[in-house]
Structure 1
Amino acid sequence: MTNIVTIDGKASTRTTTPHRVVVVGAGFGGLETVYRLTGADVSITIVDRRNHHLFQPLLYQVATASLATSEIAWPIRYLLRGRKDVTTLLGTVTGVDAAARRVLLDDGQTLPYDTLVLATGAGHAYFGHDEWEPFAPGLKTLEDATTIRRRILTAFERAERESDPVKRAALLTFVIIGAGPTGVELAGTIAELARVTLPEDFRNIDTRETRVVLIEAGSRVLAGFPEELSAYAQRSLEKLGVEVALGHAVSDCNIDGVVYGDKALGARTIIWAAGVRASPAAEWLNVAADRAGRLQVNPDLTVPGHPEIFAVGDTVTIAAPDGKPVPGIAPAAKQEGRYVASAIKQRLRGQTPAPFRYSHDGSLAQIGKKLAVIDFGRIRLRGALAWWIWGIAHIYFLIGLRNRLAVAINWLWIHTLDQRGARLITQGRAVVDSQSVPSHSGEEKRVSSAR
């Protein structure tokens, strides 16, 4: 940028460097920050360890063979291709040197910043039992989704060939741990997959005999929803054939199944949906965090002691106007990203931003085909109408006309014909008994010639 200045009565030009903004993470919060900084006098660098932005609310539909990966993910470079003020980098952040104002990358390089935005998201939390992860994968990334899809579909394939009734029963038992929105959505969709989509595809098994067990340590499903919607969700799941086990904490996950309460259940497919843990951003900065590792930020979303560092999304914990924590959902992250971009612009103008104020637009969860619940506060919906609103809202927030049309057509196909077209088993040949079963080393066993 070139500024015209006056020195000793003479006009002169001076080149200044634009304000440097580094955004770590291209999720909803990070990407919204970049979008909203359009036109500001800044240079932006956005860095992510993956090359794509992911629409996480529909990730479970990839895991259950309803959608393809390309329908809910987009290359970051493509999304920002028209922004000459933005540099996109593929890399893994390993720390932050706050004193020197530099972001540290795994290859030894550093990124200098004037303002830093941490939008680093969250991973799975196994409550001190990380050894369970190989047997009970969580659902946060495309890799997670394709792994779970492979395990689900391979379980049916192996059951078709299994003559031992005990082993076949274990193969046809699917356990989901955690009855929040992700757990409920997974349980309902797997039940429909087994009871509606697959029965005509197999000859030696009846997929309608599949057991889908949803285990929750709390007293009800969808604990964040009003009690009447929670009760409706549980009744709807049970009508779909899902077994709901409430008030039981899981005490073990292994290659043979799970133990919850005082009961052992044989199951070869287990999915973890019980908790999340924030990225190590608080450790990078050596600042306070809650039990889930989320940064405790100031009212303006800055990190205490570091006014030049903002944090948004699942990286942080902050109270909403009602005193409850802002939920870790996409609309909240987008609101925070929008606020941070506005705050940066105001600071560049010499103004002081007002505190962030979260506005809750509502909570939505799908249970199954034509089954959903929505909580808009005073307005609460359930059933088919809620399902249509849920679908329209998700299609609206997808990026690009092609993806909106593709998802809408897929859902219409599933709605009318009960067929899911993304039933592909990838990353290996499903020909041996040990395929897609986690070994005790935490790696999946595959045929050595599969790649």
Structure 2
Amino acid sequence: MPDQRPHVLIIGGGFAGLFAARKLRKAAVSVTLIDRGTSHVFQPLLYQCATGLLSEGDISSPLRHLLRKQRNISVLLGEATDIDAEAKTVRARRFDGSSFDLSYDYLIMAGGARQSYHGNEAFEEFAPGMKSVDDALAIRRKIISSFEIAETLPTADLRRPWLTFVVSGGGPTGVELAGQIREMAVRALAREFDTIDPTEATVVLVHGGERVLESFHPGLSAKAQRTLDKLGVETRLGLHVTDVGTDYAVTTDKKTKATVQIDTHTVLWTAGVEAVPFARAVNTAAGVEPARGGTIPVGPDLRVAGHPEIFAVGDVMSLDKLPGVAEVAMQSGHHAATLIKRDVAKKGDAAAPFKYRDLGTAAYISRHHALLQSGPIRLSGYLGWIGWGFIHIAFLAGGRNRVWTVASWAATLGTGGRGERAITFGDPATARRPYP
């Protein structure tokens, strides 16, 4: 007999999608969650996977495993590509390229965001972003192989571009990544090479603003800058990366328009995000004008105008200039699911406005140095580092991930080394012949 319960379709298994799915556990609905990957990824720690501190398994958990006890949900692997808002159907693409349709009574769009190159899509080939496990592994390959290649070169001039790392973007991800590359060079790699001195590696952090970590209080931002300086990270403010190639990056001063070329084989991009492509389909089908970065404008209750059955949550929604952080995603996913439960049960206010509770923002810079900001509470240094650790462990999905992450951190603190430095080549064909 066909399931007569209302069907809730959730697009995306990130923080927003996962929290929405869990909130619907005891609701009188059937739920389908579809994601283009098989796992929920803890994106705030991707940079630690990229710099050899954690493995990809430490920061990802299979969605099927996380939702295995939820009887009213089905988990599917696929990528949403199109939507018919009138027929209430979503078209998705399977891993083999074929397509299938999914109907819905309620739709929660939680597809998240991807790296934005601000119209310079050609940069992506040379400057990977930091939004997925694939990105993290690609960055790890670039970083580790740069040291290895430098080891084989005969002169300092030839080695210098391979030991120069440029990070574009001075937000939390850029600062964390720059700090960790430098810390890895100084602590983990310092005594492991014969020809090169890894401590001489140059890390250049390029940021268009007047200070790093502009979302933090100026006092905390200044402390972060001092920590970066002490680590040896070279910070260049008021600049944008305006060109990237296989062996160079060009920066342009925002005011004077003066350009400088940096000889480097490793450019990493953290400067901005934009909505995933499916958001464009939702905006078009719903007849709404896309917001900044292609995001989906929503009302106070997270619904899309004219379509009360469609919710947009997390990084893909546009509402009151909320920050693109995990807490917003979790809370908005939870709120959308709550309204659906009320609507189905005919109990409570099914149009209650979303109220974001700012639980704080944190950024890791180096060992014993992190920032934590929550309302009037502002911590830095060792206390900030402890607070940062507790927050990240608390929000990691799955007990196994928490245990192994803590164990990896402890091993790194105790030995100074980084065990997750294996590199991959992307696919079997490349792996068989990895060197051009």
Report the Cα distance in structure 1 between the residues aligned to 2:296 and 2:409, rounded to whole angstroms: 38
Paired position in structure 2 for 1:87:
74
Change (3 A) 1:348 1:236: same
**SS of 2:293's equivalent?**
coil
Query: Quick check: 1:118–1:281 contact (8 Å CA) kept in 2?
Result: no
Residue number in structure 2 paired with 1:439: none
Letter in 1 for 2:393: I
1:27 aligns with 2:27: no
> 1:77, 1:381 → 2: CA distance?
37
2:266 corresponds in structure 1 to 269
Cα shift readout 1:138-196 (whole Å, capped 9, x = no counterpart): 01110000010011000000000011322200000001000000000001110000011
Task: Letter of the 2:317 partner, please give it.
Answer: V
> In the alignment, residue 359 of structure 1 is paired with which amino acid?
R
Out of 149, 158, 173, the residue aligned to residue 149 of structure 2 is 158
Q: Match for 1:448 among 430, 433, 436?
A: 433
Aligned match of 2:318: 317
Equivalent position of 2:290 in the other structure: 289
* Bigger Cα displacement from structure 2, 66-75 vs 81-90: 81-90
Matched position secondary structure for 1:277? strand
SS at structure 2 position matched to 1:236: helix
**SS in structure 2 of the partner of residue 213 of structure 1:** strand
| TM, length-normalised to structure 2 | 0.93
From the two aligned structures, give the one with the greater helix fraction. Answer: 2
- The structure with the largest alpha-carbon Rg is 1
Distance 1:188 1:105 in 2: 39
Amino acid of the residue matched to residue 264 of structure 2? Answer: A
Which of 400, 403, 407 aligns to 1:402? It is: 400
Contact 1:124-1:138 at 8 Å conserved across structures? yes
Could you tell me which residue of structure 2 aligns to residue 342 of structure 1? Answer: 338
What CA RMSD, in Å, does the superposition of the two structures yield over aligned residues?
1.7
Q: CA deviation at 1:280?
A: 2.7
Matching residue of 1:127: 118
Residue 256 of structure 2 aligns with which residue? Answer: none
Aligned residues between the structures: 418
Cα deviations across residues 38-95 of structure 1 (Å, max 9, x unaligned)?
1111000110111111000101100000000111101111111122211111011111
Using the alignment, how far apart are the partners of 1:417 and 1:30 within structure 2? 38
Does the CA-based 8 Å contact 2:115-2:273 persist in structure 1?
yes
Q: CA deviation at 1:428?
A: 7.3
Say which of 415, 418, 429 aligns to 1:417: 415
1:281–1:295 Cα contact (<8 Å) kept: no
Aligned to 2:190: 199
CA contact (8 A) 1:282 1:288 kept: no
- The 5 A counterparts of 1:35-46 are 35-46=22-33
Matches of residues 371-386 of structure 1 in structure 2 within 5 Å?
A: 371-386=369-384
SS of equivalent to 2:400: helix
Distance 2:207 2:395 in 1: 30
1:302 alignment partner in structure 2: 303
Question: For the structure 1 residues 445 and 223, does the alpha-carbon distance in structure 2 shift closer, same or farther, using more than 3 Å as the test?
Answer: farther
Q: Provide the residue aligned with 1:187 in structure 2.
A: 178
**Given residue 340 of structure 1, which amino acid in structure 2 is its aligned partner?**
A
The match for 1:246 is 237
Distance 1:105-1:428 versus aligned 2 partners, 3 A rule: closer
The offset of 1:275, in angstroms, is 0.6
Q: Summarize deviations over 1:250-298 as a string: whole Å, max 9, x none.
A: 1211111111122100011110010101113442131222221111101
- Which of 336, 356, 359 is 2:357 aligned to? 359
Q: TM-score, normalised by structure 1?
A: 0.90
* Counterpart amino acid of residue 229 in structure 1: L
The amino acid of 2:187's aligned partner reads V
Match of 2:337, SS state, is: helix
Partner of 1:5: none
Instruction: State the SS of the aligned residue for 2:394.
Output: helix
Once the two structures are superposed, what CA deviation does each residue of 1:199-233 show, in whole Å capped at 9, x if it has no partner? 11100000011000000011110010111111111
Q: Over residues 364-416 of structure 1, what are the superposed CA-to-partner deviations in whole Å (9 max), with x where a residue is unaligned?
A: 00111000111112111110010011011111111222221211121112222
SS of alignment partner, residue 68 of structure 2: coil
* Gap regions ≥5 residues in structure 2: 253-258
1:281–1:315 Cα contact (<8 Å) kept:
no
- The separation in 2 between residues aligned to 1:62 and 1:44, in whole angstroms, is 32
Q: Quick check: 1:123–1:140 contact (8 Å CA) kept in 2?
A: yes
SS for the counterpart of 1:199 is: coil
Structure 1 unaligned regions, length at least 5: 2-14, 320-324, 430-443
